[in-house]
Structure 1
Amino acid sequence: MSDLTILGYVIVSREGMLADAAGIMPDSLKFPGDQHFFNAALDEVDLIVHGRNSFEDQPNSPKRKRIVLTRQVDGIAIDPENSRATLWNPLGATFEQAVAHAGVTSGKIAIIGGPIVFGMFMDRFDTFWLSEAARVHLPDGQGCFPGVPAQSAREVLTSHGLKASETRVLDAANDVTVTAWQRPAAGRMSEA
């Protein structure tokens, strides 16, 4: 899979939460600047990977090729509701098999959540784009990664060998930024 770049994307609250206590992304974590950044980034990838409860909900979503993690299949299957989606059970098939089934051999893969899915790829991310909404508080929410909130999202990324590089302001009025966390060994410039 050396011809593939694995990227991650999430927006979190001050506490590192990506959803509220019910597991739903609240409107308080939705900002036009971040949504524009996220949508533009996904328009540039060749494949999206997410859990069955995650979805990017963008205008081009139906056009995007994707892998959806689920326990509803034994290994790999075509999604009967979406011909552009591959259903994948990691207990029955490898990621490489799922990617091959999706017909992707090179390019960019975007991992967009949830926490368990992010955890599966922590040691494989080339770049992880961590958007942070510093003024949003979700103290009882769902942590973005396994280990959050005992550790901060930044600490989790650091513990997996990623280092913060560039930070962009996405919404100055609401203190929303995105930071590229990169794997130094990858030797690549940041990619959105």
Structure 2
Amino acid sequence: MPARRIEGYVIVSADGMLANADRMMPDSLKFEGDQTFFNAALDRADLILHGRYSYEGQPNSPKRKRLILTSVTAALAPDPSNPNATLWNPAGATFDQACERAGIEAGTIAVIGGPDVFGMFLDRYDTFWLSQAPHVRLPGGYPCMPGVPARPPQAILAAHGLEAGEAQILDAAHEVTVTPWRRAVRRAD
């Protein structure tokens, strides 16, 4: 099987939330530096993977090949609203089958949420890019992955064999950073 590289991307508030209680990303969690970093990463990815409520909404979004996790199909189906998208129900088809249907044998797969989708790949990420906005709080918000807020996302990533690299500053005025969390031991697919 050719190699696929799996990378996660999320920006979180100080309390580990990726959205408010209405599952909407508020403007307070949007920063130009993070958006630039995120968009460039997705432009390099061979496949975008997300749940039905997640979407990056950028100029190149319609051009990107994607898998959308959903229960509205039994296994795999074309997305009637996007010719570059495949609907995938993990209960009816494997990840390998979904990638094959999307035409991806090798390359980088960017996982962009939501929480359950991030959780599905915790043991498979090669790198998880965790952006943090330390001055934003979203009380009652939507956590970035299973186990948050009982534990911070960093503890969950570490518990799944990922190690923090050096943080990069994305927005100095708001102290927004991105930290690559990389797999300590290469996984075997």
- TM-score bin (small chain): over 0.9
Aligned residue in 1 for 2:36: 36
Q: Give the 3-state SS of the residue equivalent to 1:166 in structure 2.
A: coil
Tell whether 2:184 aligns with 1:179: no
Alpha carbons of structure 1 residues 161 and 2: separation in structure 2 relative to 1, 3 Å: farther
Q: Report the CA distance between 1:3 and its aligned residue.
A: 1.1
Confirm whether residue 127 of structure 1 aligns to residue 133 of structure 2.
no
Inter-partner Cα distance in structure 1 for 2:139 and 2:178: 20
Aligned to 2:68: 68
Structure 1 CA distance, aligned partners of 2:148 and 2:169?
23
Q: CA deviation at 1:139?
A: 2.1
Deviation at 1:2, TM superposition (A): 4.7
The equivalent of 1:25 in structure 2 is 25
Report the Cα offset of residue 185 of structure 1.
Answer: 1.2
- Secondary structure of 1:10's counterpart equals strand
What residue ranges of structure 1 are gaps of 5+ in the alignment? Answer: 188-192
- 1:18-167 aligned at under 5 Å gives the runs 18-167=18-167
Deviation at 1:166, TM superposition (A): 2.0
What's the TM-score once normalised by structure 2's chain length?
Answer: 0.97
Q: Could you give the per-residue CA deviations for residues 51-79 of structure 1, whole angstroms, max 9, x where no partner exists?
A: 00000111100000000001100000011
Question: How many pairs were matched up?
Answer: 187
Could you list the per-position Cα deviations for residues 27-71 of structure 1 after superposition, in whole angstroms to 9, with x for gaps in the alignment? Answer: 000000000000000000000000000001111000000000011
Q: Deviations over 1:130-184 (max 9, x none)?
A: 0000000112101101000000010110111100012100001001000000001
1:26 maps to a residue whose letter is P
Is contact 2:49-2:111 (8 Å) kept? yes
Match of 1:170 in 2: 170
Supply the AA of the counterpart residue of 2:20. D
Name the residue aligned to 1:190.
none
| TM-score, structure 1 normalization | 0.96
Give the letter for the 2:55 counterpart. F
Deviations 1:115-138 (A, max 9, x none): 000000000000000000000011
2:96 maps to amino acid: E
For residues 119 and 63 of structure 2, the distance between their equivalents in structure 1, rounded to whole angstroms, comes to 26
Q: How much is the aligned-residue C-alpha RMSD, in angstroms?
A: 1.0
Q: Which 4+ residue blocks in structure 1 deviate beyond 4 angstroms?
A: none
Q: Distance in 1 between matches of 2:164 and 2:12?
A: 16
* Aligned equivalents of 1:84, 1:166: Cα separation in 2: 34
State, as a whole percentage, how many aligned pairs show the same letter: 61
